[in-house]
Structure 1
Amino acid sequence: MTSSFTGATGAAPSTAVAARATGLTKVYGEGETKVVALDAVSAEFRQGEFTAIMGPSGSGKSTLMHCVAGLDTITSGSAAIGGTELGPLKDKQLTKLRRDKIGFIFQAFNLLPTLNALENITLPMDIAGRKPDQDWLEKVVKTVGLEGRLTHRPSELSGGQQQRVAVARALAGQPEIIFADEPTGNLDSRSGAEVLGFLRNSVRELGQTIVMVTHDPVAAAYADRVVFLADGRIVDELHGPTAESVLDRMRSLPTGAAAPQRESTRPGSEGTAAPTG
């Protein structure tokens, strides 16, 4: 079965595709331990759009994000960032693509404790030998509300402020797309709402493209559309979501995973364990 949802209806979306999965299948293990994490999934993520990916535990939502972002290998089918197919790329080419075209935000803030907020924000560009666009950097810092915190180290910042630094770091390099995996998972509800607001504003005011994996209907309501996975397939999508409409759709999804639930291997691993998200 091939699942395909390729964009919003109603208001005209951008016609440019920032990322794409086509017939994407991901299999972990062999024989009795074989787990089909993704089953011929096709989806497009358009420029300037905020998409949330949701589904029960074990549905394949994190695996889909990891494969499309080039963090995990694909068993069959294809994935692309812009017009670049990921499959033919060698490791160095993939690393360069992720560095130059993709921003990442994870549940863990992944900040270096010895660097201040500004140094953490510009670190990926420093490593790449690129100078930040100062006008853009100032706009990003203002968008996430960090003007008065740039000289503070992570230990001097709250969890919400640390995640704001991580958001700014993802935005600062002007990536074509940002992938966010449970970005508010370690935050209280107030801090989480602030970070989600910054992500929403980055789409509306900066023209950013965001794909976010989340289990939280309230978080998903910040998106333009929500894509629902179950048993490794896309089974539904929702445009202009509210927390209530997302929760209603989640309640209607299959809850019995066809594959056994196992702990995830790290992205890129070829072990036999299947992802839990």
Structure 2
Amino acid sequence: MNSTRILEPSVATGAAVSAFGLTKIHGTGDAAVVALDDVDVSFERGRFTAIMGPSGSGKSSLLHCIAGLDNATRGQVHLGDTELSALSDDALTVLRRERIGFVFQAFNLLPTLTALDNIVLPLKLAGRRPDRDHLDHVVAVLGIGDRLGHRPSELSGGQQQRVAVARALVTRPDVIFADEPTGALDSVSGQELLSFLRRCVDELGQTVVMVTHDPAAAAHADRVVLLADGQVAGELADPTVDSVLEALRGLGA
């Protein structure tokens, strides 16, 4: 049975990624905007978590900080046992390439490369050979085995996004961060992609953290973290479309 109660947020031990006292301020002086205000939150390994909240609640700022794409003003982010703020720029670049996967609205595929070459590009950049069994499994889960020789222009939007997901998975990352991954897709392709992300968690043991504004997308997750005014406002376990809508209404979204 689905739970619709709002839970108090907690920081779990052994999480895939955790933030402690995370604060992000854009600008200075009178123009300063507090995007994140002393946030404590964690994301469990092998789980699918959606981040939701009203416009300007800090969703994207939180994702960018915990994914190592932006520096926090204060606080700490830990990927497993690694504190991101303690890393040099070069070390952070290597960590993002080898331990984090990214899926965004824009597919960011290289147009001159085939789907297969786009998928294995992160491994080539790292000087690593693909694990063929893992690659074949990822390709099978995403249903793109017959599209590997095609270039992006020869693929539909949904197929391009699946290639982008395969690229994010191929390095066996600690976490996949997805920022509005269905935003550029039609409703059918969007639902297919969300089902694939769900399978990546269930069948590949992957950890997925997704920012979305769509209650139907969030209903694919195991948990929803709710943000409001740069702070964690609560959580939903086993979300449904109705429970997410009710929670967002409670936040004034």
TM-score where L is the length of structure 1: 0.87
Cα RMSD for the two superposed structures: 1.1
Counting only pairs closer than 5 Å after superposition, residues 112-261 of structure 1 correspond to structure 2 as 112-255=110-253
- Distance in 1 of aligned mates of 2:118 and 2:144: 12
1:153-181 deviation per Cα after TM superposition (whole angstroms, max 9, x unaligned): 10000000000000000001100110000
1:17 aligns to what SS in structure 2?
A: coil
2:97 aligns to what SS in structure 1?
A: helix
Q: Does 1:5 align with 2:10?
A: yes
- Distance in 2 of aligned mates of 1:183 and 1:165: 12
1:31-88 deviation per Cα after TM superposition (whole angstroms, max 9, x unaligned): 1101000000001111101000001111001100100111001111100111000111
1:30 is displaced (CA, Å) by: 1.2
Is the CA contact 1:4–1:41 (under 8 Å) kept in the aligned structure 2?
Answer: no
- In the alignment, structure 1 segments of 5+ residues that lack a partner are 8-14, 256-277
Identical counterparts, % of pairs: 63
User: Would you tell me which structure has more helix in proportion to its own residues?
Assistant: 2
1:175-230 deviation per Cα after TM superposition (whole angstroms, max 9, x unaligned): 01100000000000000000000000000000000000000000000000000001
Q: Residue 47 of structure 1 aligns with which residue?
A: 45
- Distance in 2 of aligned mates of 1:194 and 1:5: 31
- Distance in 1 of aligned mates of 2:189 and 2:11: 32
1:5 aligns to what SS in structure 2?
A: coil
- Distance in 1 of aligned mates of 2:148 and 2:194: 20
1:254 is displaced (CA, Å) by: 3.8
1:26 aligns to what SS in structure 2?
A: strand
- In the alignment, structure 2 segments of 5+ residues that lack a partner are 1-7
Is the CA contact 1:53–1:213 (under 8 Å) kept in the aligned structure 2?
Answer: yes
Q: Residue 96 of structure 2 aligns with which residue?
A: 98
Is the CA contact 2:36–2:61 (under 8 Å) kept in the aligned structure 1?
Answer: yes
1:100 is displaced (CA, Å) by: 1.0
- Distance in 1 of aligned mates of 2:145 and 2:98: 25
Q: Number of paired residues? A: 246
2:86 aligns to what SS in structure 1?
A: coil
- Distance in 1 of aligned mates of 2:167 and 2:25: 32
- Distance in 1 of aligned mates of 2:139 and 2:157: 17
Aligned CA distance change for structure 1 residues 215 and 236 (closer, same or farther; 3 Å):
same
Counterpart amino acid of 2:51? I
TM-score where L is the length of structure 2: 0.95
Is the CA contact 1:5–1:237 (under 8 Å) kept in the aligned structure 2?
Answer: no
1:87 aligns to what SS in structure 2?
A: helix
1:6 is displaced (CA, Å) by: 3.4
1:16 is displaced (CA, Å) by: 2.8
1:4 is displaced (CA, Å) by: 4.1
- Distance in 2 of aligned mates of 1:87 and 1:171: 24
1:244 is displaced (CA, Å) by: 1.2
Counterpart amino acid of 2:211? V
